[in-house]
Amino acid sequence: MKIGPSILIGVCLCMVAWTAGCTGIGFGDVHYADGNLQVTVENPAEMVNGTVQVTVFEIRDFKQTEVTKIARSETLPTGTAALTFPMDLPPGDYKIYLYFMKGNERTVSVIKDIQV
């Protein structure tokens, strides 16, 4: 079976249209200082409302233990935003699970490692 060039072009255009706008929100650097977890968020599109969830796990003795979970509504402007989450973290190694949800849909999820 041969596929004609017009069908291939049509399929390619559909794929481009389907993936348009997928370069969305991204989580950047994560730092802990002075009792605050600071998270950089990049939003290349227009301002968006959603929920940011941060779950912190301490890593010790090859085990992962949940320390805290914070979820809150945020309005992310176009460009770079810095979000601050107050928390008390003693010295150690941590995994930070970051989520952005628009409605009930999780649109971004990232895991970051930090050392305090």
The pLDDT profile of the chain, 116 residues, written as one tens digit per residue, is 555 555 545 444 444 344 344 458 999 999 999 999 999 999 999 999 999 999 999 999 999 999 999 999 999 999 999 999 999 999 999 999 999 999 888 889 999 999 99
pLDDT of residue 5: 55
What is the structure's pLDDT at 103?
84
Stated pTM of the model: 0.76
* pLDDT given at position 3: 56
**Rounded-to-integer distance, Cα 24 and Cα 22, Å:** 5
Residue for token digits 């010295």?
Answer: 91
